[in-house]
Structure 1
Amino acid sequence: MVEINYQLDQEGKVLLEKIKELTEIASPTGNTVEIMQNIMDKLDQKNIQYKLTPKGGLMITLPGQNQERQRFLTAHVDTLGAMVRAIKPDGRLKLDLIGGFKFNAVEGTYCQIHSASSGKVFDGTILMHQTSVHVYRDVDTAERNQTNMEIRIDYPVFSAEDVEKLGIKVGDFISFAPRAEITESGYIKSRHLDDKVSVVLLMEAIERIVAGDLPLAHTTHFYISNNEEIGYGGNSNIADEVEEYIAVDMGALGDDQTSDEYTVSICAKDASGPYHLGLRNLLVTLCEEKNIPYKVDIYPYYGSDASAAMRAGADVRHGLFGAGIDASHAYERTHITSVIATKDLIETYLETPMK
């Protein structure tokens, strides 16, 4: 049984506030410039060198004690989102989904429409067309799909022409309001904890390494990915010297899962197949040696940047671990104990030499 600390200490509060800050920056896949700029500003403040890749990812390479055998760690800032699919005659919007989720996961969600032509942002709500029980007889039975789901814009519009005058057009990005909250009992609940928890933890590790507080066993490339939710975030920019590739991403919770919100979840297999057994065993050994609470799990309908790298032909040992997150790709939640366990495993792994 994991010992759960329900009282947030100052370190935990600061960590969760950093996660909350990132969740509140809109970053649907394909529209991540603002959040990348936020991260670059943080790196600039610490005088940490980085490279912005052509497809918009961020690479931070830090020298370790062994420079010949290298590592690659990635986490992604891109999130689920949508695009304007069509403007309906009554001024409502049809939407097209970005990323792997279902329409029911966003029903009732506040959202923002990002106009590419005007640069303005408009608020709205994602609703079923047949929402009012006082009007529609099929409220209970109507399918949540692209035909029936729509966006109600918070602006007086009565026609497609009214919407177009605002500068809203087909192809404009739609982001979902995270509604992030931190509870006194140590939870953070929000959209987009996948994978902004991991991004914050990699940034914490980078800052500790640069400050001289965390010894780095091997030269390590930290890649902040921006296309993971559509399958190709971290499958490029992998140096020939890299032998181990770790995706720090969420652990999925549900029926038949061992993962929970209070441990770090180590993936044995996902939809792409098994992860490298030797690297998985190393992660388990480190957890047991350092008393880091962990669970080993299988995610049946899941893929990561590590699995994308393998499909792209990377000749590396690949692994995956992360905080256990409930209700993935909907209104997610995790606990500070899981966040801290993931942080501890990242740091322990980075200071441990390869065999």
Structure 2
Amino acid sequence: MSIFNEKETVQLLETLTNIASPSGFTTNIMNVMADMLTKIGVDFVRTNKGALIATVKGTNDERHRLLTAHTDTLGAMVKEVKPSGRLALSMIGGFRWNAVEGEYCTIHTARGEAIRGTILMHETSVHVYDGVGTLPRDEKHIEVRVDEKTTSAEQTRQLGIEVGDFVSFDNRFEYTKSGFVKSRHLDDKASTTLLLQLLKQIKEQQLILPYTTHFYISNNEEIGYGGNASVPEKTVEYIAVDMGAIGDGQQSDEYTVSICAKDSSGPYHYELTRQLVALANDNDIDYKLDIYPHYGSDASAAIRAGFDVRHALFGAGIESSHAYERTHVDSLRHTAALLHAYVLSPMIDELED
């Protein structure tokens, strides 16, 4: 039985990263997700906030599981139309302006047009400005150079651009011969891809799950509250499938599945986390156990909202998170394997019985 289809997974991931979806501008991608769920043949509901919750009935319908991933990404909004015709930005999500300096972008106007631009320092030209390399990369200096003939605020507004328009960053997806996937917004479209693939596998292979399991596709995680509402009342276990943080002092890497023991919200549920580790060991799944110092998830948001659930977090290791990200197909493979093992396993308290 095949657990991981590399070609199909990478193709789907590219499709999802190509769809602009900064937090607050997710209607299009959630409609695409709804179409995909319909094609798979799984029942789902849409929440008032625009999230999707697909449900697969299990043998036990009294105790439920929930897996979540999010489609929303980092992005920006037009803060000001400058006298020069260029645009000042307001950040959506937690990143640094240097991570998008020089990146191509799209301005999404209220009348439905997509206008191209480039994110630059106002003082980019070294032939004109002193100290370009030492100026702060912040909202005062970063702007969008609009790819239209405009030299004034009036001309830019005539294009339909206005304060409050969303700005998305180009993903620049690439899949290398060595197995690396490079793209913006792997956080968290890599996990969303894996949940869709798992749902497809469950339906095609007619897998019988031991518990009714919900697949919660959220759309506001990057701003802190994607999965903190509409959690089905019988949910006992809540798993956030999200990126593993890589850097100095971290164990996570691009080749294994990263299991989070603690992030900035505090420790994840100990026994559930240890069960994930045991499943990885029992199924020859390469993993790293880690702590993410500057991180929160939809699972921790649900805990803060007061849901009485056991919560855990795991996902593919993502290098250079919230910038131009990268992972390896091996990490996707091991994450998919842990997802598969988890949804077919008993709950930890039943193991103890």
TM-score under structure 2 normalisation? 0.96
The 1-side partners of 2:132 and 2:208 are apart by 59
Contact 1:80 1:229 (8 Å CA) reproduced:
yes
Question: How do 1:151-162 residues align onto structure 2 when only pairs under 5 Å count?
Answer: 151-162=144-155
Q: Counterpart in 2 of 1:129?
A: 122
Q: Counterpart in 2 of 1:63?
A: 57
Q: Counterpart in 1 of 2:215?
A: 222
Q: Counterpart in 2 of 1:83?
A: 77
Count of paired positions = 345
Within the alignment, does 1:251 sit opposite 2:244 as a pair? yes
Question: How do 1:278-297 residues align onto structure 2 when only pairs under 5 Å count?
Answer: 278-297=271-290
What secondary structure does 1:73 align onto? strand
Within the alignment, does 1:50 sit opposite 2:44 as a pair? yes
Runs of 4+ in 1 over 6 A off after TM superposition: none
Q: Counterpart in 1 of 2:306?
A: 313
Match of 1:106 among 86, 96, 100: 100
Cα deviation for residue 157 of structure 1 reads 0.3
Contact 1:214 1:347 (8 Å CA) reproduced:
no
Deviations 1:90-128 (A, max 9, x none): 100000000001111110110000001x21000000000
Question: How do 1:17-56 residues align onto structure 2 when only pairs under 5 Å count?
Answer: 17-56=11-50
The 2-side partners of 1:304 and 1:238 are apart by 15
Q: Counterpart in 2 of 1:175?
A: 168
What secondary structure does 1:240 align onto? coil
Q: Counterpart in 2 of 1:145?
A: 138
The 2-side partners of 1:176 and 1:287 are apart by 35
Contact 1:283 1:349 (8 Å CA) reproduced:
yes
Deviations 1:230-283 (A, max 9, x none): 000001111221110000000010000000000000000000000000000000
Question: How do 1:184-199 residues align onto structure 2 when only pairs under 5 Å count?
Answer: 184-199=177-192
Cα deviation for residue 13 of structure 1 reads 2.2
The 1-side partners of 2:6 and 2:126 are apart by 44
Contact 1:262 1:335 (8 Å CA) reproduced:
yes
Percent pairwise identity? 57
Within the alignment, does 1:242 sit opposite 2:201 as a pair? no
Q: Counterpart in 2 of 1:3?
A: none
Match of 2:317 among 324, 328, 346: 324
Q: Counterpart in 1 of 2:8?
A: 14
The 1-side partners of 2:334 and 2:41 are apart by 28
The 1-side partners of 2:60 and 2:41 are apart by 23
Cα deviation for residue 213 of structure 1 reads 4.0
The 2-side partners of 1:238 and 1:43 are apart by 19
- What is the root-mean-square deviation of aligned Cα atoms in Å? 1.0
What secondary structure does 2:134 align onto? coil
The 2-side partners of 1:94 and 1:260 are apart by 36
The 2-side partners of 1:322 and 1:281 are apart by 15
Match of 2:226 among 228, 233, 241: 233
TM-score under structure 1 normalisation? 0.96
Which residue identity is paired with 1:256? G
The 1-side partners of 2:193 and 2:137 are apart by 34
Bigger shift: residues 339-348 or 36-45: 36-45
What secondary structure does 2:133 align onto? coil
Deviations 1:61-89 (A, max 9, x none): 11011111111110000000000000110
The 2-side partners of 1:343 and 1:90 are apart by 49
